[in-house]
Amino acid sequence: MGEDFDVPPAKRPRHIAAIMDGNGRWALRRGLPRIEGHRRGVEAVRRTVRECGRLGVQQLTLFCFSSENWKRPSEELQFLMQLLEHYMIEERPELQNSNIRLSVIGRREGLPTGAVRAIEETIQLTSRNTGLHLCLAINYGARQEIADAVRRIAQEVQAGRLQPERIDENTISQYLYTAGMPEPDLLIRTAGEMRLSNFLLWQSSYAELWVTERCWPEFDEALLRQAIRDYAARRRRFGGLLPEEMDCSEQRTTSP
């Protein structure tokens, strides 16, 4: 897959996550209503999903709607929920034809009934697909996710099914919304913002961050490929040393 790409498959990220920021700003700079930015943002989602599939990315996780986004104007929220439901129904043929499996993380509470029904039906429809795993974070907040995990772990301890001394990092990961998913290798953020905004805080501990000044509606295949190139050029240490650095360290230690 992606034979025309200059990054070998072994050096490409397995899991890409993206904070899709700047839809409203993109629209306002052009004298358009904010909702037009969201509509154009869906087109960027389509481009990104297709290109990730072509490049052999295993999972793409998109931050679609934060649990803090309910503070936005009611007209914008109504449009976003309608857009969500429409996307879930409209994209089913594309997801099926491209062998894409959909999942959604976040709380269903608070979402309109129609949107929830469309989400669940699309998840079920694509559940047997074996290609790209598309995970959408909707009504999601990472602190909320961790709090929910701690609550469930506490219930397991209270019921006697889990011993406190057996709780470790792996235990916590198993109770997160993302249980069973690989952690992100590459985290992309658009619109130049330099923060995680309560997105995958636990899972992104060792993700490589890549930020572009472009707003999400401008995000395209070329930018995605550039992000992957930059990722492939980085040296991931995970808190340790690379082999060549280890050798240098030992030489300094043993030299007179």
Q: How far apart are CA 7 and CA 89, in angstroms?
A: 34
Given a contact cutoff of 8 angstroms between Cβ atoms, the answer to whether 214 and 29 are in contact is no
The tokens of 53 are what? 């599939």
3-state secondary structure at position 135: strand
β-bridge mates for residue 187, sequence order: 17, 209
Q: Which pairing describes strands 186-189 and 15-19: parallel, antiparallel, or unpaired?
A: parallel
Given a contact cutoff of 8 angstroms between Cβ atoms, the answer to whether 161 and 148 are in contact is no
What residues contact 149, with CB distance under 8 A and at least 6 apart? 172, 175, 176
Q: How far apart are CA 228 and CA 117, in angstroms?
A: 35
Q: How far apart are CA 64 and CA 80, in angstroms?
A: 10
Among residues 69, 129, 148, 198, the one annotated as catalytic is 69
Is 198 in the active site? no
Is 247 in the active site? no
Among candidate residues 252, 226, 219, 225, the one with its CA nearest the CA of residue 63: 219
The tokens of 107 are what? 């709380």
Among residues 4, 6, 21, 23, the one annotated as catalytic is 21
Q: Annotated active-site positions, please?
A: 21, 69
